Chains A and B, each alone.
Chain A
Amino acid sequence: MIKYLTKVKTPYLLLLPGFLFLFTFFIIPIANLAQTSTQSAIAGGDTGQYEQTLQFSNYLTAFTENKEQFARSFVFALCATILALAIAYPLAYAIAFKAGRLKNFLLVLVVAPFLVSFLLRTVAWKQILGEEGFVVPTLRSIGIIGDSTTLTSTSFAVIMGLTYNFLPFMTLPLYASLERIDPRTMEASGDLYANGFTTFRKVTLPLSMPGVVAGTLLTFIPAAGDYVNASILGSPNTKMIGNVIESRYFKIVDYPTAAALSFTLMAAILILVTFYIRKAGTEELV
């Protein structure tokens, strides 16, 4: 890296406008959210009117009332992350090492589906998996599912939707780290009498860990806070924490609870992420 140390102020001047923007529209809102989360309704006020009373019990109430949705969000997000990893790793591996001249083309193909609006794709899945789609009648006719079983409005559909929608966030970092591996390291491993599986376990996988960590984080975080998949592909029984926050804001106008829930979600994710990064031992993420 070249360091133009002659002008010490330059980097700060470059940072100033962007950071001012992020400070105003990211940091202050988050602080304000924390402030809202301990408010309580004004006695005799209209709906949507709240005052600061440092009511920390909001957190406890919000959490105990929505334990189930919290747990579901994390379980769904975890399942989606594992599935996405299982789908994306071989895909990224094939593109990085087996594609030859088709590499760039295949890379475009991986991203291409995501150029169609994600809501349209989610609605498409709903219709494909729905009663009028082609999957359900086919599965029924070969007897894999019974006549009364449906695929939409189930946890399966929500997890599948999450997996699908966040797949590029998994595939691209994986590809980036696999592509950087020198193929000679794998050859060397083979020369030292390691079979394919051992080479993968001892050489390829460890070298691709930064991609695995980045990919799983970039999938898990948005999946845990998502409510679109659950509301399009799910049912009232598959509500995630995002659905609760959304309805607290728009339908019930209960800002303090919504804020407390948002804050708990963010804190839970940050704690998990920190723990995970420590465990996985990768510092250089971005």
Chain B
Amino acid sequence: MSKLKDASIPTIPFGARVSRWFGRNLIRIYAVLGFTYLFIPVLYTFAFSFNDSGKSNLVWKGFTLDNWKNPCGAPEICTALGNSIKIGFLATIFSTILGTMIAFAIGRYAFKGRSSSNLLIFLPMATPEIVLGASLLSLFLVFHINPGFWPTVIAHVMFCISFVVVTVKARIASLDPRLEQAAMDLYANEIETFRRVTLPLVAPGIAGAALLAFSLSFDDFIITNFNSGTLKTFPEFVYTAAARGIPAQANVIGSAMFILALLIVIAGQFVGSKAKVSK
């Protein structure tokens, strides 16, 4: 077979062969280019975390591991990181609980006001962040609440809820209702069915939603900037530092978070595929 094919190739001119190869692989070439575009700034950030840069990390001055050995070396950077992690955790816990409850209500029940509930969930996502941040700040100012740690947590819970609802709802929608019916047929009551069938099946969706909420909260700048007052989160640190050149330690923390998050995602995939096999 292959010999036959080989024999037929020389009759096609070289140019046509090249263009046919491009035609066939166009989408793959395009995908490779797309991924390159996506990863350029990541590789840049990673590379410059090893830069022996001194104060401003603009030009490559030589390889060093010092930044990785001492990530808190730049002033304020670890306080900012700590704030971001604390806010992220609190926002994740509250938004995941509230959002999951809403997702169950909307995804599992038919009730009056269901479509307006959907609208209320969609609205915060359709509102530009700057409007969300600014309007919350105005509210806090009216009640003479100073911007700071808790206002920031409240703001983050508020914008994370919708994303949690959407993620968990998608998981609930993909469940096979017959599994729950089977549990009921086997004399499990509503609560037992929920605890032993529904919840374990929805759990991966909830875990995914919590990860999404944490990454949204951790990375948020605009809403945070309005409500954090003098408190500084990691993105705020980078924003202020950007004017005079960010320290290489910021690149270290960014890269470390990237690696950590990637490991979590890969572990999640691994656990997910294991669970599928064991089913």
Contacts and interface: CB of A to CB of B under 8 A. Distances in A.
Interface string B16-29: 00000000000110
Nearest to A28: B139
Interface stretch (B7-15, B68-76, B199-207, B238-246): B238-246
Contacts of A4: 108-109, 190
Contacts of A36: 138
A3 B109 contact: yes
A246 B242 contact: no
Contacts of A123: 238, 242, 246
Nearest to B151: A25
Contacts of B138: 29, 32-33, 36, 255, 259
Contacts of A111: 265
A15 B41 contact: no
Interface in A210-253: 217-218, 221-222, 224-228, 232, 242, 245-246, 249
A93 B30 CA distance: 10
A15 B117 contact: yes
Nearest to B166: A286
Interface in A264-286: 265-266, 269-270, 273, 285-286
A106 B107 CA distance: 30
Nearest to A258: B134
A90 B38 contact: no
A225 B215 contact: no
Interface residues of A, number: 87
B271 interface: no
Contacts, number: 254
Q: Name, among B28, B99, B129, B266, the residue most crowded by chain A CB atoms within 10 Å (CB to CB).
A: B129
The main secondary structure of chain A at its interface with chain B is helix
Q: Name, among A1, A122, A167, the residue most crowded by chain B CB atoms within 10 Å (CB to CB).
A: A1
B82 interface: no
A12 interface: yes
Contacts of B221: 118-119, 228
A225 B105 contact: no
Given A29-B138, A32-B142, A225-B131, 11 more contacts: A11-B106, A15-B105, A33-B135, A116-B42, A116-B257, A120-B254, A132-B58, A222-B128, A228-B221, A269-B127, A286-B166
B93 interface: no
Given A115-B257, A118-B221, A226-B222, A259 B134 contact: yes
B126 A269 contact: yes
B187 interface: no
A205 interface: no
B32 to A, nearest CB: 9
Interface in A31-78: 32-33, 36
Given A32-B139, A98-B28, A225-B131, A18 B161 contact: yes
B34 A87 contact: yes
A7 B48 CA distance: 59
Given A18-B161, A117-B238, A128 B41 contact: yes
A242 B127 CA distance: 13
Nearest to B118: A286
Q: Name, among B107, B117, B131, the residue most crowded by chain A CB atoms within 10 Å (CB to CB).
A: B131
A279 B206 CA distance: 34
Interface in B129-144: 129-132, 134-139, 141-142
Contacts of B1: none
A98 B45 CA distance: 30
Contact of B44 (A3, A17, A124, A164): A124
B157 interface: yes
B130 A262 contact: yes
B210 interface: no
A127 B58 contact: yes
A94 B27 contact: yes
Nearest to A259: B138
B135 A273 contact: no
Contacts of B31: 90-91, 94-95, 98, 106
A242 B37 contact: no
Nearest to B226: A249
